[in-house]
Amino acid sequence: MSKLAVIALGGNALLRSNQIGTIEEQELNSTETLENIVFMIKEGYNIILSHGNGPQVGNILMRNDAGESLYGVAQMPLDVCVADSQGGIGYMLERMLRNVLKKHGLQRDILTLVTQVEIDKDDPAFKNPTKRVGKAYTEAEAQKLTTEKGWIFKKSSKSEDGYRRVVPSPIPIRIFNTDTIEHIARQGVIVIAVGGGGIPVSIDEDGMVRAEEAVIDKDRASSLLASTIKADELYILTDVPYIYINFKKENEEIKEFLNVQDAEKYLKEGMFGEGSMAPKIEAAIDFVKNGGAKSVITESTKLADKKYGSKITMNYD
């Protein structure tokens, strides 16, 4: 049976930090990233792709703001904005991947699924929103929006940028349609799912699906999906080629191979950035502890070069 891999695209897979985010830039970056999974397709892997949406959903929120302030267009809630980004990015990835496969003489069907992900409406994250979304506002603008809309703001990570809206980032607990996702992926269809971590929804006391104003971490959702469908491997693509301890310090050290015990030790020691590498390590650990063979974390353009990438397994081989 062919191996099944979930590949989470993030970091510079879609957009580089020095770019403004034109569709031409994103298409070029996506193509370069997707070229790096061709070897897996040639080796017979069945593949599910997930992706981040941070810059893209931020742009959608800014268009919301501009449409409301300039033309009185009703704003859409965050869950709809996440769905919009899933569809747009999924379409772009699907089209670019079809062209990459054509170039290499390969044939696979590709299917993009707008994916809902269940979270707990009582998740502690709702009492402590931390995920920054959208543009930066002045302090006066932020206070006005808090009064008018009930939004919560925090100082931008770059102090000169002012204040940005923060929203909860709850833990994903269930992904919709996993049986179907697994079935079609194991038939050889490349599936694009849980984009941006998935659309956050909860289930009320009557069993009804309710939208939630939140965003879900893409790597956590990808790990949950990979575990649920019993994938063999999880790949998390970012903007560094390896996992490092003491990152950017004199005693910086590459960790090419890690077992779960050592990865958890370094995590507790604070070796990984809380808003950057730590969630990726946690997602990788969870996948392996739930039965996955290995997790790989590497730069989005380095996957095909097997000398790069840090591998997390249950035990050292």
User: Active-site residue numbers?
Assistant: 11-12, 131, 218, 280
CA 109 to CA 107: how far, in whole Å? 7
Count of C-beta atoms within a 10 Å radius of residue 268: 8
CA 146 to CA 141: how far, in whole Å? 9
Q: Do residues 130 and 166 lie in contact, with contact meaning Cβ atoms separated by under 8 Å? A: yes
Q: Which amino acid is at 50?
A: S
CA 34 to CA 54: how far, in whole Å? 19
Does residue 211 sit in helix, strand or coil? strand
For residue 272, the 8-state DSSP code is: S
CA 278 to CA 166: how far, in whole Å? 19
CA 55 to CA 190: how far, in whole Å? 24
CA 238 to CA 300: how far, in whole Å? 6
Beta bridge partners of 310: 297
